Amino acid sequence: MKTFKGFICILSLIIISSNILLPQAKEDAFFYHQEGVKLFNQGKYESAITSFSKVLEISQKQYLREIESISLNNIGLCYKNLNKFEMAAQFYNQSLRIKKIFDNKSEILVVQSHLAIVYEKLKYFDRALESYQEILKISEILKDLKLKAKTLNNIGNIYYYMHEIKKARDYYNKSMEISTSIYDVALIAETLRKIGQIYNDLDDKKEAIRIFNQAYELEKGENKQ
């Protein structure tokens, strides 16, 4: 999946290569974008929002939807890092609406992932589930088994938080099947611990200990290699 740095590179290239932006607007957009990136990396998120908002304003005036969507996502990232999750969700959703117009699956995936995280933080579990289900669909289109296994795991987490233990276990088991098939040891061990915790919650201590030990032995064996 693309990281924040990935979006930085994409936006920089779009600004530089744009034949639609007037020379001064292009120069201003590039300057404010780079300034926003610098401030973001320094942890000065409120100041970064100011810079990214100027890029957003330019993109909206010039009707450059790709630049607009990335700027909205960047502002959302700033609000997320400020723990202002409601604001982050608003900007992510605006970004997502534009990205769906272009139907770029990998970029939709990134924003949906950001949304799922802030919805979890806000305990909006139904909305988080919607985002993860969309990510799951994209993982199947992209034939990305690692992403699919991780997403099934995340859906299991949401059901666990909602105290729907059976559904949580079902999704963890689905995640286990895929992570085992691709031998993702870290995810297998992580999922085993979560399944073990479910058995512990159900007061089946013997089964919980067996599964916890299985996760431990798996990680220990991997660390020896």
Q: Which residue shows structure tokens 């996502």?
A: 73
Cα–Cα distance for residue pair 214/206, rounded to 1 Å:
12
Q: Give per-residue pLDDT as tens, 30-67.
A: 889 999 999 999 999 999 999 999 999 998 988 888 88
Cα–Cα distance for residue pair 36/32, rounded to 1 Å:
6
Mean pLDDT, residues 166-194 taken together: 97
Domain locations along the chain: 164-225
- Strand residues in 162-217 grouped as ranges (E): none
Percentage of the chain modeled with pLDDT above 70: 88
Answer yes or no: is pLDDT of 27 > 60: yes
Answer yes or no: is pLDDT of 154 > 50: yes
Q: What is the pLDDT of residue 9?
A: 45
Cα–Cα distance for residue pair 182/59, rounded to 1 Å:
42
Answer yes or no: is pLDDT of 173 > 50: yes
Cα–Cα distance for residue pair 162/123, rounded to 1 Å:
9
Answer yes or no: is pLDDT of 191 > 80: yes
Distances (CA, A) of 151 to 90, 129, 134, 168, 217: 23, 10, 10, 12, 24
Identify the burial level of 24 via C-beta atoms within 10 angstroms of its C-beta, where 0-12 means exposed, 13-18 middle and 19 or more buried.
exposed
Answer yes or no: is pLDDT of 197 > 90: yes
The confidence band for 7, taking pLDDT boundaries of 50, 70 and 90, is: low
Q: What angle separates helix 105-121 from helix 85-102, to the nearest 10 degrees?
A: 160
Cα–Cα distance for residue pair 89/97, rounded to 1 Å:
12
Answer yes or no: is pLDDT of 1 > 50: no
The confidence band for 23, taking pLDDT boundaries of 50, 70 and 90, is: low
The confidence band for 219, taking pLDDT boundaries of 50, 70 and 90, is: confident
The confidence band for 16, taking pLDDT boundaries of 50, 70 and 90, is: very low
- Of 50, 53, 45, 58, whose CA–CA distance to 15 is shortest? 58
- 8 Å CB contact between 111 and 73: yes
- R_g over Cα of the chain: 21
Mean pLDDT, residues 1-26 taken together: 53
Under DSSP, the state recorded for 144 is -
- Of 144, 143, 116, whose CA–CA distance to 132 is shortest? 116
Mean pLDDT, residues 81-94 taken together: 98
Answer yes or no: is pLDDT of 10 > 60: no
Distances (CA, A) of 143 to 26, 55, 111, 148, 151: 37, 35, 19, 8, 13
pTM of the model as a whole:
0.87
Q: What is the pLDDT of residue 224?
A: 58
The confidence band for 185, taking pLDDT boundaries of 50, 70 and 90, is: very high
